Structure formats: structure tokens, C-alpha cells
């Protein structure tokens, strides 16, 4: 009896001590959103607990634009997600859709017994026209609750509308979305699945020949079109950049290893023609490679997955025929599964009922791909090189005049992979270069010009050592980086910016009969941003939930990327 009482009081004490520990704050390092000095008009659009929701329909609620603030003139609109969880849980991908238009794709953090909390703030000003209408809001988090995985995700979603500052009133034309080449479109059409289906509104691409999409019809007075695409890899392709060549798998009889090599390309088609390509950044979710790396600093892009823009304006001559046309998506070399959907941003001519256009040039040479491999047994080296270019041009006649738009995409890819220690050590270094440009011109002048250069890199060394008696030691050294330069200009103004974002980490795990016995993760991140108007710098380092160093600055001196 005494022993039972002692155990009870020890359990009660343990519970009390755990309850007294504040939750750990997780975060993704990124530049704070520049905001007006005015107070926002804020509306909560969702408050929900996501428990056993895997394979079920998204949570739906009706969104209504706020009537008590001048939201239509807001120069900045921000979506804020705050989430909390306690217990044990996998990382879960999730999406937020408004009227079928995806406005956020994210990954949940993996909780601990004492609880965690994190916040994501996203600038959604480009969706202004969508936010001015009553819409159905859909949120999908595929979560599972059982005896082992107990973490429920408590989610709050809020939208902040910032009013125009008095001294800047009437000077926001370029940033607020009026005129050709503006930031915010007049209409956004979803290229996503129906609300009535389970598992979210994204299309699920399951293999290299699988193609999915949707037919849409656009207004007859459209003069510009941009397709914004969201992508995320999962299951056998979650770590696609580490996948082995098929010949290596066959020779070593690796029946459970994902294959098709380490190259993936998301191909976007309009009807039967390739109109754009995406070579995605290697987002690592919060449970990826080694979960201890991401506690509390999350991987680049994991809380706010990037979307990718493809200029569709050169093809408006085809789309303006009053008929339905299909946008479809496929993934080169894909294994299951890739989640993909898109938003078609359209700029409409208020002074015309009908615009006209014609495609002048469209060049999509085949991929240039080479694989050089040399291996003996489970040891070997592999080098994959790929390149691609897509060039399109066309004119559109509207009240703005006859404007010719030329779009160019250029990609270069290299993945060097080595397998050592009888296949237990994998070392890879992958680089993706992309250059994109959009140039819109009248006969004698430039109307709009946009240039974007990106370099994505991942270096990973992952080693597994058998310690005997069912014990495995796993170590990982990781480097992840984005280098980005962009320049944009129009008759309303211009700007340029540079971003250097670098992460490096070391993780260790000890497993006994596939159960975690011990682990350690250390992560350091250096983020640098500069533009014509502002700068931002942050350097932060952590070890197993603890921040060891954190400094940031908004000054431009000695802060060049």
C-alpha cells in the first residue's frame, strides 16, 4: 500500500514539474515583414484542434472580409498562424486554402512532453483581390492520435490588415497593385482539387508518368497571367536528392530503397505544351534527416514552403478564345508522392471587355541529362548533370497598348554522390542554379522587367554504424543554403534585393531495436538580406532545444550578403 502511494505521489510530482515547464518556442529564421506604423485591423479566421484528421476532409469555415477597416486599401496584409502541441507526434504537412486558392503550405513542428509553440507570419498582400470576397476557408492537417503519438495540434489563424499611413496615402501605387506589372492581381483562380475530397486540395502525383490538373476558363479582358505553383515531396521522394540510381539498387538487391536517381523536375503544361518548369529547393521537414537538428531552429522553408511563379502572359492568345484550357502537372523521375497545386493570378483590363493576343515564340528543348556512375558492390560514386531552358514570347493588345512579353527560364543541376563503408555512409553535394526573367515592352519603351537568380545547395554526410545487439549509431552533417538576387522595375518604380541564407548542423542518434535511446542536434544559421530600402541580419546557434547565441540587426553597415 505504501509503495503504491509512493508511486502515486512520484507520478503526481513528475506531472506537476512537467506542467510547470514553459513550452519551447520553435522558429524559422527569416526576415521580419516590413509593416506600416498603423495599427492593424485583425480578424481570427480559424481556431481548431487537429487530432485524428488523417485521410479526412479539410476543416471548413466561412471567411468574410472585415467591414470595420479599409482593407481594400491595405498596403500590407499578413496571415499569422500560431500553433501549440504537447506529447509525441510526427511532422505533418498542411495547407491553407481560401476559395480553393492555396495561401500557405507548411509543416508542423514535432512536439516534446513539456510542449512547444511556434508562429508563422506570411505576407499575403498579393492575394488582396481574393481577400475582398466571401470565401470558404479550408485547412488540412493529416494528424493521427494513438497510444504512441499523442500530440494534438492547437491552431489559430488570424489575418492582419494594415491601413495606409497618412503621409504615404496615394503613394503606394506600385506596391499596392495598380497598373501593369503590379504586385497584386485583380483575380486569382484556383488550380486545385475540389473541396469535397479528402486529404487536402492538392493533386497527388504518384509516379513519373502520372499527370494531374484542372480545366479553367479565364475572363476575356485579361492582359497578364502568372501561375503560382506550390510543391512538396513525400514518402519515397521526401529525400529525393538522396535517391540511388536504379542500376545501383538492382545490383545490390536493395528492395526497400527509393530509386530513380536524385534528380526531380516539376513540369507544368498548358493543354499539351510545356510552359514552365520548377526545380525545387530541398525543404527538409521538422522530422527530416535527424529530428534533433530542428529543435528549436526549423529548416529553411519548412514553416513557410516556397511557391514558384511561371509567367503565362505569352500564352494569352491561346487562353483568350473563350474555351476551357487545362493546366497539368507532372514530376520527372517521380516516386510517390508529390503534392502540387497552383493559383492563376490574372490582371484584368477595366477599360476593355476583350483583349487580344498571339504567341510569337515558344522553345522547349528536351532535358540535357547525363549520369556517370562507377561502383563495386555497395561502394561507388555517381555524378548527375542536367540542364534545361524554356523561352516564350507573345503580345497582348489592351487599353495599355500592344505589349510584348518575353519569359525565359534557365536551369543547371549537379548532384555528386558517394557511397562508402559498404553503403552505410552516403555523402552528397547538390547544386541547382536557376535564372528567370520576364520582360514586357511596348514598341519604344520598357513597361515591366523582372529578373531572378537563385542558387540552392545541399551537402549531406549520413553515416550508420552497427554497434551490435540491435544498436545503431546514426550521424548526420548537413549544410543547406539559398542565394538569391532579384531585380524588378516598372514605370511606377523599381527595386533590387539579395538574400543569403545558410544553415549547417550536426546530428547524432542512438537507436536500440529501432527505438530512440539518445540523441543530440546542433544547428547554426546565418541569414543576410539587403535591398534598396532596408537590410536585415541574423546569426543564431542552438544545441538540443537551447539557444546558445542569437544576434540580429536592421542596419546595412557591414551587412552585405
Contact of 451 with 470, CB cutoff 8 Å: no
Phi, psi of 558 (to 5 degrees): 55, 30
Contact of 24 with 296, CB cutoff 8 Å: yes
Torsional sign, CA 267, 272, 273, 275: negative
Specify if 423 maps to a domain. Answer: no
Q: Cell numbers of 133, please?
A: 470576397
Specify if 25 maps to a domain. Answer: yes
Specify if 409 maps to a domain. Answer: no
CATH code assigned at 134: 2.60.120.1570
How many structural domains compose the chain? 1
Sequence-separated contacts (24+) of 108-111 with Cβ below 8 Å: 108/83, 108/141, 108/143, 108/153, 108/286, 109/26, 109/83, 109/85, 109/286, 109/294, 109/298, 109/303, 110/151, 110/286, 110/287, 110/291, 110/294, 110/295, 111/85, 111/86, 111/87, 111/151
Q: Cell numbers of 325, please?
A: 484550357
Determine the pLDDT at residue 481: 98
Specify if 104 maps to a domain. Answer: yes
Residues of the chain with pLDDT under 70: 1-20, 70-72, 166-182, 491-493, 557-561
Beta-sheet pairing, 546-553 with 535-543? antiparallel
Determine the pLDDT at residue 284: 98
Determine the pLDDT at residue 15: 47
Determine the pLDDT at residue 485: 97
Alpha carbon distance 323, 500 (integer Å): 44
Q: Cell numbers of 488, please?
A: 524588378
Determine the pLDDT at residue 86: 96
Cis-peptide, bond into residue 337, ω within 30° of zero: yes
Residue with cell 541564407: 501
For 560, other C-beta atoms within 10 Å of its C-beta total: 11
Alpha carbon distance 103, 425 (integer Å): 39
CA angle 19, 25, 26 (to 5 degrees): 135
Q: What is the pLDDT of residues 494-537, one digit of tens each?
A: 779 999 999 999 999 999 998 888 999 999 999 999 998 899 99
CA neighbours within 13 Å on the CB side: how many for 248?
27
Contact of 104 with 81, CB cutoff 8 Å: yes
Specify if 143 maps to a domain. Answer: yes
Specify if 501 maps to a domain. Answer: no
Task: Determine the structural domain holding residue 129 and report its residue range.
Answer: 21-168
Residue with cell 541580419: 537
Cis-peptide, bond into residue 296, ω within 30° of zero: yes
Phi, psi of 429 (to 5 degrees): -135, 115
Determine the pLDDT at residue 171: 40
Contact of 373 with 247, CB cutoff 8 Å: yes
Determine the pLDDT at residue 177: 36
From residue 50, give the alpha-carbon distance in Å to each of 77, 94, 150.
Answer: 26, 11, 11
- Name the helix (H) or strand (E) containing 416: strand 401-420
Alpha carbon distance 284, 104 (integer Å): 17
Alpha carbon distance 469, 432 (integer Å): 41
288 Rama sector, left if φ>0, alpha if ψ -120 to 50, beta otherwise: beta
Mapping DSSP onto H, E and C, the string for 178-244 reads CCCCCCCCCEEEEECCCCCCCCCCCEEECCCCCCEEEEECCCCCEEEEEEEEEEEECHHHCCHHHCC
Residue with cell 476559395: 99
Specify if 88 maps to a domain. Answer: yes
Q: What is the pLDDT of residues 375-419, one digit of tens each?
A: 999 999 999 999 999 999 999 999 999 999 999 999 999 999 999
Specify if 374 maps to a domain. Answer: no
| Residues in Cβ contact with 173 at an 8 Å cutoff, skipping those fewer than 6 apart | 179, 182, 492
Amino acid at each position: 500500500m505504501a509503495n503504491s502511494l509512493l508511486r502515486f505521489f512520484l507520478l503526481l510530482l513528475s506531472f506537476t514539474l512537467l506542467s510547470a515547464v514553459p513550452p519551447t518556442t520553435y522558429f524559422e529564421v527569416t526576415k521580419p515583414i516590413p509593416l506600416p506604423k498603423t495599427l492593424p485591423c485583425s480578424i481570427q479566421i480559424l481556431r481548431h484542434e487537429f487530432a485524428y484528421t488523417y485521410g479526412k476532409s479539410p476543416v471548413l469555415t466561412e471567411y468574410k472580409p472585415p467591414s470595420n477597416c479599409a482593407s481594400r486599401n491595405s498596403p500590407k496584409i499578413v496571415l499569422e498562424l500560431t500553433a501549440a502541441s504537447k506529447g509525441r507526434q510526427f511532422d505533418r504537412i498542411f495547407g491553407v486554402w481560401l476559395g480553393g486558392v492555396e495561401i500557405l503550405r507548411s509543416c508542423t513542428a514535432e512536439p516534446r512532453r513539456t510542449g512547444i509553440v511556434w508562429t508563422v507570419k506570411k505576407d499575403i498582400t498579393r492575394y488582396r483581390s481574393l481577400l475582398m470576397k466571401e470565401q470558404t476557408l479550408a485547412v488540412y492537417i493529416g494528424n493521427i492520435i494513438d497510444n504512441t503519438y499523442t500530440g494534438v495540434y492547437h491552431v489559430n489563424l488570424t489575418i492582419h490588415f494594415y491601413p495606409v499611413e497618412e503621409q504615404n496615402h496615394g503613394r503606394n501605387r506600385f506596391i499596392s497593385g495598380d497598373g501593369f506589372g503590379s504586385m497584386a492581381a485583380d483575380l486569382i483562380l484556383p488550380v486545385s482539387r475540389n473541396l469535397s475530397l479528402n486529404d487536402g486540395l492538392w493533386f497527388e502525383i504518384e509516379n513519373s508518368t502520372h499527370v494531374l490538373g484542372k480545366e479553367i476558363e479565364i475572363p476575356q479582358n485579361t492582359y497578364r497571367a502568372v501561375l503560382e505553383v506550390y510543391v512538396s515531396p513525400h514518402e519515397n521522394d521526401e529525400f529525393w536528392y538522396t535517391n540511388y540510381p536504379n542500376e545501383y539498387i538492382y545490383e545490390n538487391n536493395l528492395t526497400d530503397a527509393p530509386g530513380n536517381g536524385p534528380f526531380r523536375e516539376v513540369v507544368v503544361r498548358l493543354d499539351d505544351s510545356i510552359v514552365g518548369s520548377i526545380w525545387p529547393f530541398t525543404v527538409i521537414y521538422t522530422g527530416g534527416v535527424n529530428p534533433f537538428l530542428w529543435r528549436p531552429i526549423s529548416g529553411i522553408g519548412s514553416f513557410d514552403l516556397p511557391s514558384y511563379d511561371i509567367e503565362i502572359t505569352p500564352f494569352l492568345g491561346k487562353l483568350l478564345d473563350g474555351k476551357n484550357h487545362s493546366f497539368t502537372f507532372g514530376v520527372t523521375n517521380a516516386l510517390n508522392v508529390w503534392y502540387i497545386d497552383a493559383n492563376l493570378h490574372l490582371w484584368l483590363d477595366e477599360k476593355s471587355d476583350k483583349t487580344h493576343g498571339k504567341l510569337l515564340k515558344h522553345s522547349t528543348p528536351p532535358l540535357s541529362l547525363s549520369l556517370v556512375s562507377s561502383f563495386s558492390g555497395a561502394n561507388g560514386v555517381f555524378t548527375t548533370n542536367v540542364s534545361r531552358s524554356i523561352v516564350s514570347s507573345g503580345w497582348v493588345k489592351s487599353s495599355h497598348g500592344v505589349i510584348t512579353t518575353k519569359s525565359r527560364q534557365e536551369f543547371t543541376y549537379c548532384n555528386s554522390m558517394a557511397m562508402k563503408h559498404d553503403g552505410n555512409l552516403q555523402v552528397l553535394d547538390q547544386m541547382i542554379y536557376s535564372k528567370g526573367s520576364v520582360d514586357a515592352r511596348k514598341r519604344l519603351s520598357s513597361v515591366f522587367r523582372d529578373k531572378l537568380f537563385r542558387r540552392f545547395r545541399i551537402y549531406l554526410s549520413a553515416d550508420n554504424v552497427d554497434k551490435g545487439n540491435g544498436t545503431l549509431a546514426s550521424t548526420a552533417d548537413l549544410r543547406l543554403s539559398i542565394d538569391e538576387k532579384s531585380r524588378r522595375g516598372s514605370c511606377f518604380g523599381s527595386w533590387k534585393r539579395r538574400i543569403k541564407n545558410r544553415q549547417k548542423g550536426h546530428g547524432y542518434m542512438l537507436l536500440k531495436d529501432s527505438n530512440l535511446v539518445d540523441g543530440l542536434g546542433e544547428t547554426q544559421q546565418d541569414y543576410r538580406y539587403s535591398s534598396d530600402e532596408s537590410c536585415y541580419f541574423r546569426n543564431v546557434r542552438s544545441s538540443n532545444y537551447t539557444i546558445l547565441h542569437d544576434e540580429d540587426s536592421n542596419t546595412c553597415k557591414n551587412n552585405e550578403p
